Every structure is written in C-alpha cells, then in structure tokens.
Amino acid sequence: MILTCIVGSILVSIVIIALIPRENSLKLRQQALEWSLITFALSILLLVNLHQEAQFQQIIEFNWVSTIGWFEGSPILFAIDGISIFFIVLSTLLTPICILVSWNSIKFLVKEFIICLLGMELLLIGVFSTLDLLIFYVLFESILIPMFLIIGVWGARAEKIKAAYYFFFYTLVGSILMLLSIAVIYRITGTTDYLSLTNIQIDNNIQIWLFVGFFLSLAVKIPMIPFHIWLPLAHVEAPLAGSVILAGILLKLGGYGFIRFAWPLFPEATEYLAPIILTLSLIAVIYGSLTTCRQVDAKRLIAYSSVAHMGIVTIGLFTHTMEGLIASIFLMIAHGVVSPALFIAVTLLYERHHTRLIRYYRGVVMTMPLFSIIFMVFTLANIAVPLSCNFVGEFLSLVAAFSTSTSLGILTSTSMVIAAAYSLYLYNRICFGQLSPYLIFSRDINRREFNGQLPLIVAIVLLGVVPYPLIELVRVCLPRFL
C-alpha cells in the first residue's frame, strides 16, 4: 500500500534524524532533504495510481482497541480520494522546500527543528486521510504543538512568544467546540466513523448547533473575520519554514474540514446558515483586501492577502454549486503554492538587507535580475493572471458567485481589482525605479534558493495551463456532497 509506505518513510526519517549526532548539522539537513524527497516521490506515485472513481482508496484499517469498559472500539479507517490526495501531495511538496529554504537560517537546535517539520508532515497526512471524526480532531489539534514550537523557538523577533501563544490559544479555544459537537454526535449515533455517519440523518435543529461548533473551530483555522487576529502576527514572527507551512497547508485545514465533514454531515444546517457565512466571507474579502493595501511590512502584506483569498474559497464553498466546490478546492491548492512562494521571496530579501519595510526597497532588478523575474511570476499568479493556477480557481469562484447572486459576484470581483493594486504596488516598489541607497549589498539568489522556488514555479504554470486532471478527479468525488 503506497499510503502505508508514505507514513513508513516519514517514521523512518524521524528515527534516522533522531540517531544522528546534533553536532553534525550538515548531515541532519541532507538526510532530512533526501527522505522528504522520497516521501514526495511516493505521494506522486500515489496520485498517479489513484483510480478515477468516487470511492475511497488505499484504505488502511487500524484496530486500536477492542473493548474498553462500556466503549466498544471499532477499527479506524484511513483512506484517500480525489479531494484529499492533492492536499497530501501539497504537504509532501512543501516539506523539502522548507528544509531547503531554511538551510542556513536555522542555526541552533537543527535536529529538533527538522523533527518538528517531519512530525507535522506526518500529522498532516493523517488529517487528510482519516475517516474518523475523533481521530480527525486529535490530529487536527496535535498539529498545534510542532507549529507552536517552530514559531516560539525559531522565530526571528522579540514578539515570537506572543505570536506563538496567539496562534495556540485562538485555535485551541475554537476547537473545543468541535470536540463538544463530536461528543454529541457520538451520543446520538453511537459512532464517530465518517462512512457510517453519512448514512445517518440527524435532526435539523440539532444539526444547526452541531454545525456551529464545527464552524467556529474551522473558521479560526481558515481564518475568517473576526477570527483572523492571530494570523498576521504568527506569519510575521514565524521563521520562513513556519510561514510556508502555515500559509501553504494549515490554513487549508479549515476549508478541508468544511468539505469533508461539516457539509456532508450537516447538509440542512449548511443551507440554513449559508447566507451568514457568505456575508462573513464577503467582509473578509473586501476588508482583508483593503487592509492589505495599507501594510508597510512586506510579510504582513502577504499574510493579510491570505485572509482575502481564503474568503473567496469560503464564498465558492457555500454557494452550494458544483463550480463553487471545484473552485474552493482548486483555489486552496493554488493558494498553497503561491502564498508560500511569496513568503520565500520576501524572506530572501530580508536575509540580505535585514528589513521587511517596503519603503527601504527600490531598484532591486538592477542587482538581482533572476530574483526579480521569479518574483514577477509569483506576483502575477497572486493577481490571477490567465495561465496561472489562481486564475482557474478565482474564475470558477466568480462563476459560482454570479450564479448565486449578481450582487455577490460583483462584490467578490472587487477583491481581484484590489489584489492587483497591492500586488503590483509591492512588486513595482521593490524591483523598479532607481536603486535605493539603503541597499548596500544585494547579491542575486544562489542555486539552493533557486531550487527551493523552482517546484513552486512549475506547479503554478502546470496547474494554470493544464487544470483539467485536478478538476476531473475532484468532480468525480463531489456528487456525494451535493
């Protein structure tokens, strides 16, 4: 089973890293990179071998308990389908990229840092493949621990401890309500198995309260306004690898939870509360875009843009149309590629000039032409230029929004105009114009930095030019959600 091999390769890599002496930091990095590339290759093999059908595949049955007192244990199932496979591939893609871009920036506790990254990769694969509500919650919350350590221990600035606690408590407090909902579901139905629950009808009034518990937990992860306060601070204070994982994967846990669990289990509640959620999403899109325009810190600007982009994801999701569902999944994958790429670009500038304030940059294209070309590709993808991955997701989101309501479509489209404004301003200010006198030394990117960005460039172009395979795999799985 390929899924079993992926989990096994990560476990083996963690054991090998743990056995290497901490003084040999070069070998630690090399082994981590090699094993993470093996895991990524296995995930590509998993994608290639995925059958184009709606059923779950690569099923792993884990009998963790037979009977404990009154609780009758049942086997826990892990499996994939045309939705979860892309999030697994994205997780395994970003892990070696994180190791590459952090090659020189992490200077202490290298072994512990790598183990945190690999442990988080393992937990993410579990989250995206589990078919049990309780295990989903446990893995969902377990991811907080390594990310809390990455922000709090390896963050670069003085407020890293505050940012780590913001991230931890906002997401933990919100998730308690999900745990209460799961407990009520078990009391009503006697099971937390996803496949069994999809065949059980829950009373509509109870559905609403259960969905509210799930919504508040998942909305913090996305994050939706007004639950977004932790995000900019966590992004700014986290090391580059933390920002890449946070923007690329962790923000997608909320959207994935809605698609996989909240919508199929509480269909009437999602229909009933959809207008409220669409309103919150519109506020996130417009307010997030306008707030992005006033940022003076490049990393904080990209963090706030994530709020707006994820607002478009939830708009597509809660229009309850086939186009909206496809758009939400496609846009999450696209954002999981483009946003980490932008974080890598601005951090490369920070490592050279030790400031993220946009006002100190100008004329970088004169001394860093290769960086400027790559940064331009990422910027154009962020504003959804045709033939980029974001274009496909945002276009389908607009189609779904206009099919639901003309006013909803018009208001959603304003975010794309504002996104073009702040993205082009950022690129123009940094790369064009006369060379800034503050940039004393500005060398272009090296081979390692280029190799860290190359897979993201390929993914941006490939998903934009050939989106059909992803759309088709997702489309086959969606009838059970409609």
Q: Per residue in 288-298, pLDDT tens?
A: 888 888 888 88
Q: 46: closest CA among 480, 478, 476, 473?
A: 473
Confidence of residue 237 (pLDDT cuts 50, 70, 90): confident
Answer whether 120's CB lies under 8 Å from 146's CB: yes
Answer whether 227's CB lies under 8 Å from 219's CB: yes
Task: Please tell me the predicted confidence (pLDDT) of residue 15.
Answer: 92
Q: At what angle do helices 84-101 and 468-477 cross, to 10 degrees?
A: 130
What is the rounded average pLDDT of the residues 215-240?
84
What is the rounded average pLDDT of the residues 389-402?
90
Task: Please tell me the predicted confidence (pLDDT) of residue 444.
Answer: 86
**pLDDT at 342 exceeding the cut of 90:** yes
pLDDT digits (tens, 9 = 90+) for 435-453: 888 887 778 888 888 988 9
Task: Please tell me the predicted confidence (pLDDT) of residue 67.
Answer: 46
Helix count and strand count (H, E) for the chain: 21, 4
- Spans of all domains in the chain: 1-477
pLDDT digits (tens, 9 = 90+) for 152-181: 888 877 778 888 888 888 888 888 888 999
Considering only 37-41, 43-47, 63-67, 359-363, which range has the smallest mean pLDDT? 63-67
Answer whether 217's CB lies under 8 Å from 210's CB: no
Segment (H or E) for 68: strand 67-68
Answer whether 112's CB lies under 8 Å from 277's CB: no
SS3 319: coil
SS3 82: coil
Largest CA distance in the chain: 74
Q: 36: closest CA among 89, 81, 74, 73?
A: 89
Confidence of residue 479 (pLDDT cuts 50, 70, 90): low
Answer whether 443's CB lies under 8 Å from 367's CB: yes
Confidence of residue 477 (pLDDT cuts 50, 70, 90): confident
**pLDDT at 428 exceeding the cut of 50:** yes
**Tokens 């994967």 sit on residue:** 249
> How far apart are alpha carbons 77 and 418 in whole angstroms?
44
Task: Please tell me the predicted confidence (pLDDT) of residue 40.
Answer: 94
